[in-house]
Amino acid sequence: MSGLPLSRAPIPGDDPPAPRPGGIAARALGLGQSAQSYLDKLNPEQRLAVETLDGPVLVLAGAGTGKTRVLTTRIAHLLATGRARPYEILAVTFTNKAAREMKNRVGDLIGGVLEGMQWLGTFHSIGAKLLRRHAELVGLKSGFTILDTDDQIRLMKQIIAAEGIDEKRWPARQLAGWIDTWKNRGLSPKDVPESDAHAFADGRGRKLYAAYQDRLKTLNAADFGDLILEPLKILRENPDVLADYHRRFRYMLVDEYQDTNVAQYLWLRLLAQGRENICCVGDDDQSIYGWRGAEVDNILRFEKDFPGATVIRLERNYRSTAHILGAASHLIAHNESRLGKTLFTDRTDDDDTAKVFVSSSWDSEEEARAVGEEIEQLQRKGHLLNEIAILVRASFQMRSFEDRFVTLGLNYRVIGGPRFYERQEIRDALAYFRVVAQPADDLAFERIVNTPRRGIGDATVKLLHDRARARRVPLIDAAEELIETDEIAARTRTALRDLIAAFNRWRGQVDHLRHTDLAEIILDESGYTEMWQADRAADSPGRLENLKELVRSMDGFDSMIGFLEHVSLVMDADSEASADAVSIMTLHSAKGLEFDTVFLPGWEEGLFPSQRTLDENGRAGLEEERRLAYVGITRARKRAYIRFASNRRIHGLWQTSIPSRFLDELPEAHVDVTEDTSTYGGYGMNAYGASRFDNRDPFQNTYATPGWQRAQKNRGGAAESTMGGYGNFSGPKSSQRYLEGELVAKSVVSGGSGYKAGERVFHQKFGYGKITGIDGNKLTIDFDKAGSKRVLDSFVERH
DNA sequence: ATCTTTCTAGTTTTT
DNA sequence: CTAGAAAGAT
């Protein structure tokens, strides 16, 4: 049965009528008899979260506790009880995927397709919508373009150059980073604090930010940050506009509240001041985006920000075994900045569930091999590869797994690589479409003016820029003028004239052709398709295929403009691969997903927790890393395998690593520490000097590995680490930084190595060898057994 | 204007 | 080590 259009619901007055079970509203929504049945499917806490409709509500939803169910049922409940019409509900998410899922699931609940919920979307899409409505209030026109990261960087490069600043010393990327930070905090150029202004180019940061914003206005463009910042400005400075939205939004719902940044928070708070009916759902323990502006504080402070708020905890977990939950809970309990929840499960099949496995490998290749073997075993037992994931801290870790799986012939897919709309060929094609749709889009024009090569080089582009600036016209107009002069070579002039003529021709066809046909014509006539056909590179056929896919995907839109708007906001084009394959992804991209079996490799100090995060953010950084570990473990339904490797190649250098402190924070009761025999046996490792470990059980069923003990000592404040009885290897010479008594940073001291070429040395991984070259503290050594390698001096010793 | 060599920096990522 | 970008050579 498909539900009647929701707009048929009775029109409520200022105070919507109380719910009337079986009333017109409920029946129109297809909720007649089953009006209460959707509530019956909830547990008591979930039900409370759905039925507490008035006033501010914070739902602390732990991993796997039915967060989306609460959110969607709450919306359905608001609609079913006639409390609000679809367009009176503001529901914000972070990702398009989440927005889509919410829409679909509410649709399922009301028994049809959800229509009229025009304010359900991502922060950015709703921001864009607000901004288009009131663009003129901040100096934009409603049809503004939304710039992607690429465009932003190119624009900033121009601005930095225009200021006469050396772009090498002050890279545009860095400026982009600062501007992003400022926008995340809701700061316009004038609000940037003195301390921050000095962070870039000797205090010219603020000026560059202002220049960038000016330039955006001239281009009638907005970047992603503006989609939040500008609406905030509008709401702040225009009480009448704000009052209008207060009237409009009877109820507000926010997903993943722990990921909101300051600007988003301010935005929500302003809007919520109207009716105070704001419901935020989130999990402070899963806040892992601090580095891109998310403020855990927003969720920690909720009760202060919204006095009288109801806080509801969802702790009943429907996903994982008690062992997995026990391990994750014990780990996350080490964080101080948290509201505190403890997940539990009703599952009683614990007798045959596994504890969380912890094991080690000699190096990253060994690690990949061990995981590969484990997966093959699971596969033999009939497990689906689709139910297995490998979650890494940093993407460089993926490589060893890919290499291994290729040799094994094991199906895998990497999640979160370059997205469809970020690919070069797609961006180029889109740039053509943008110039057709919006001739003044200088950034798009610049991108494709010489792609494919038509002999319009840097010199000509500079000429165009100068003229455009002098005349205050778009580049394409400047080009049109320039071809009438003799300032450029005849050959270049012809090329430019042809290009402009082509754009005029395509523009003339906009109203006469279907936009998909026009798109094809543009790609053909511009020579763009031909360019890739002529390219002999291995990936060109794939690129051509992508271009076809792009044109196909335009079919779902009714105009070129509509399509472009979609693309700039929806940067994901997820094609659900159906083949059975192991998923490899970062911990960050795993948030929100779940698998039967999860492998968590690389739990080593420096990598996880990441040294850089520790150095830059100290204790807060450490807690965020710990939350990442928590997210990782809680992705598993039945099995979690945590691993660390003793040796890892980082930036081309072999480094010995210490097991992650997080391993120490797991409860023994829920953990199964296994000695990985391949660590010390096989692979001819004995030949490299590892044999001295042979007759020892390095774990003795507790964490007693050499590196582990060293880690313990370091944490206790012991000065130089020694290997206490485990041979004569000495760890890296290090300087340590303590914060509140806890080791947060440890960096290797650089300086002269003190070694000379020709010296014989011993290395724990590679054995004996002779130094053949020295570069600072990096040594090139010709090993007797392992060949020539580059290693840090602190990992070898004189023999 | 384009091809080749040199240099440099090097988590995490959505919109 | 290694990818990507900028400087230098043709």
Q: Which residue has the higher pLDDT, A17 or A114?
A: A114
What value, to the nearest 5°, has the Cα angle with vertex A112 and ends A108 and A115? 105
What is the structure's pLDDT at A745?
34
pLDDT tens for residues A379-389? Answer: 999 999 999 99
Angle between helices A515-525 and A424-437 (to 10 degrees): 110
Give distance CA A31 / C1' C3 (Å). Answer: 57
Q: Quickly state the pLDDT bin for A733 (edges 50, 70, 90).
A: very low
A255, A105 Cβ separation under 8 angstroms? no
- Rounded CA-CA distance A181/A175 in Å is 10
| A763/B14 CA-to-C1' distance in Å | 43
Which of the four pLDDT bands, split at 50, 70 and 90, describes residue A201? confident
Contact A581, A385 (CB under 8 A): yes
Percent of chain A with pLDDT over 90: 53
Mean pLDDT of A312-324: 94
The shares of helix, strand and coil residues in chain A, as percent rounded to the nearest 5, are 50, 15, 35
More confident residue, A792 or A15: A792
Q: Residue A576 has which token pair? A: 């659900």
Nucleotides of chain C touched by protein CB (<7 A): 1-2, 6-7
The residue behind tokens 């070579």 is: A489
Closest CA to A236 of A269, A192, A259: A269
Q: What is the pLDDT of residue A10?
A: 35
Q: What are phi and psi of A572, to 5 degrees?
A: -110, 135
Residue A87 has pLDDT above 60, yes or no: yes
**In 3-state terms, what secondary structure has residue A687?**
helix
Q: Which residue is nearest to nucleotide B11 (CA to C1')?
A: A394
Residues 61-120 of A with CB under 7 A from strand B: 94-97
Q: How confident is the model at residue A440 (pLDDT cuts 50, 70, 90)?
A: confident
| Dist CA A788 CA A799 (whole Å) | 17
Contact A109, A73 (CB under 8 A): yes
Q: Which nucleotide is nearest to A166 (CA to C1')?
A: C6
Secondary structure of residue A468 in the 3-state scheme = helix
Contact A533, A540 (CB under 8 A): yes
What is the arithmetic mean of pLDDT over A222-230? 95
Nearest to A468 by CA among A148, A162, A758: A162
Find which nucleotide's C1' atom is closest to A624's CA.
Answer: B12
- Encode A94-132: b = buried (16+ Cβ within 10 Å), e = exposed: bbbebbbbbbebbbebbbbebbbbebbbbbbbbbbebbb
A666 against A148, higher pLDDT: A666
pLDDT band at A265 (very low <50, low <70, confident <90, very high): very high
pLDDT at A545: 87
> Which of A665, A671, A657 has the alpha carbon at shortest distance from A707?
A657
For residue A437, count CB atoms less than 10 angstroms from its CB and return exposed for 0-12, middle for 13-18, buried for 19 or more: buried
Higher pLDDT, A686 or A79: A79
**CA–C1' A775–B6 (A):** 18
How confident is the model at residue A573, as a pLDDT? Answer: 58
Which of the nucleotides lies closest to A609 (Cα–C1')? B11
Residue A421 corresponds to which amino acid? Answer: Y
pLDDT, residue A423, reads: 85
Range name among A475-484, A653-662, A715-724 with the lowest pLDDT average: A715-724
At residue A575, the pLDDT reads 60
Q: Which residue has the tokens 């690129």?
A: A543
pLDDT exceeds 80 at position A517: yes
Based on the residue annotation, tell me whether A256 is a catalytic residue of this protein. Answer: yes
Q: What is the pLDDT of residue A13?
A: 35
What is chain A's mean pLDDT, rounded?
Answer: 82
Q: How far is the CA of A204 from the C1' of B9 (A)?
A: 25
Chain A residues 273-302 with Cβ under 7 Å of strand B are 291-292
Q: In chain B, which nucleotides are within 7 Å of a protein Cβ?
A: 1-2, 10-15
Q: Higher confidence at residue A196 or residue A478? A: A478
Q: Is 80 exceeded by the pLDDT of residue A2?
A: no
- The rounded distance, in Å, linking the Cα atoms of A781 and A789 is 6
Using 50, 70 and 90 to split pLDDT, how confident is the model at A351?
A: low
Contact between A791 and A778 under an 8 Å Cβ cutoff? The reply is yes
A793 is a catalytic site residue? no
d(Cα A289, Cα A540) in Å, to the nearest integer?
A: 35
Tell me what the mean pLDDT of segment A33-46 comes to. Answer: 80
Q: Give the integer Cα–Cα distance in Å for A665 and A675.
A: 19
CA distance A204 to A190: 13
pLDDT band at A25; cut points 50, 70, 90: low
Question: Which range has the worst mean pLDDT, A38-42, A267-271, A515-519, A576-580?
Answer: A576-580
Beta-carbon contacts of A49 under 8 Å, excluding residues fewer than 6 positions away, are A57, A59, A70, A74, A279, A281, A312, A314
Give pLDDT tens digits for A388-410.
Answer: 999 999 999 999 999 999 999 99
Percent residues over pLDDT 70 in chain A: 84
Strand C contacts in A 766-795 (CB under 7 A):
790
pLDDT, mean of residues A659-679: 83
DSSP 8-state code for residue A478: H
More confident residue, A263 or A716: A263
Phi-psi region of A322 (alpha: psi -120 to 50; beta: other; left: phi over 0): alpha
CA A168 → C1' C8, Å? 17
Segment among A126-130, A353-357, A544-548, A717-721 with least mean pLDDT = A717-721
Distance CA A413, CA A389 (A): 10
Residue in the block written with tokens 């000026």: A207
What pLDDT score was predicted for residue A748? 35
A374-382: Cβ within 8 A, 24+ apart: A374/A599, A374/A641, A375/A410, A375/A582, A375/A599, A376/A408, A376/A410, A378/A597
Q: Which of A748, A726, A750 is CA-nearest to residue A737?
A: A748
**Look-up of token digits 């051509």:** A544
Is the pTM higher than 0.95? The answer reads no
Write phi, then psi, for A606 (nearest 5 degrees): 95, -40
Phi and psi at A545, nearest 5°, equal -65, -40
Q: Which one from A45, A67, A427, A493 is the annotated catalytic residue?
A: A67
Dist CA A148 CA A134 (whole Å): 22
Per the annotation, the verdict on A255 as an active-site residue is: yes
A61-65, A278-282, A298-302, A345-349: the lowest-pLDDT one: A345-349
The answer to whether the beta carbon of residue A170 comes closer than 7 angstroms to any atom of strand B is no
Helix A149-162 vs helix A205-219: crossing angle, to nearest 10: 120
Better pLDDT: A657 or A573: A657
Residue A21 clears pLDDT 60, i.e. is over it: no
Residue A165: count other Cβ atoms within 10 Å of its Cβ: 18
By C-alpha distance, which of A286, A290, A299, A298 is closest to A591?
A286
Contact partners, residue A725, CB within 8 Å, separation at least 6: none
Helices (H) and strands (E) in chain A, counts: 32, 23
Asked if the model's pLDDT at residue A64 lies above 60, the reply is: yes
Q: Is A442 a catalytic residue?
A: no
Q: Is the CB of A616 under 7 A from strand B?
A: yes
Evaluate if the CB of A168 falls below 7 Å from strand C.
yes
Per-residue confidence band for A45, with pLDDT thresholds at 50, 70 and 90: very high
Helix (H, G, I), strand (E, B) or coil at A379: helix
Determine the straight-line distance between the first and last CA of chain A, rounded to whole angstroms.
81
A46, A122, A213, A286: the active-site residue: A286
Residue of A635, A746, A765, A789 with catalytic role:
A635
Dihedral pair phi/psi, residue A168, rounded to 5° = -75, -35
A588 in contact with nucleic chain B (CB within 7 A):
yes
The one catalytic residue in A196, A255, A605, A625 is A255
A208 CA – C10 C1', rounded, Å: 38
| A443-469: average pLDDT | 87
* A163 Rama class: left (phi>0) / alpha (psi -120 to 50) / beta: alpha
A118 is catalytic: no
Judge whether A247 counts as a catalytic residue: no
Mean pLDDT of A31-42: 69
With distances taken from each CA to the C1' atom of nucleotide B12, the closest residue turns out to be A588
Residues 594-653 of A with CB under 7 A from strand C: 649, 651-652
Q: How far is the CA of A173 from the C1' of B10 (A)?
A: 15
Q: Which string of DSSP letters, residue by residue, matches A218-246?
A: HHTEE-TTHHHHHHHHHHHH-HHHHHHHH
Please tell me the distance from the alpha carbon of residue A592 to that of residue A63, in angstroms, as a whole number.
8
Residue A184 contacts strand B, CB under 7 A: no
Q: What's the whole-number mean pLDDT along residues A349-367?
A: 86
Is a pLDDT exceeding 80 seen at residue A327?
Answer: yes
Average pLDDT over residues A62-81: 94
A775 has pLDDT over 50: yes
Q: What does the alpha-carbon distance between residue A263 and residue A231 come to, in Å, rounded to a whole number?
A: 10
Give which of A276, A156, A130, A262 is closest to A215, Cα–Cα: A156
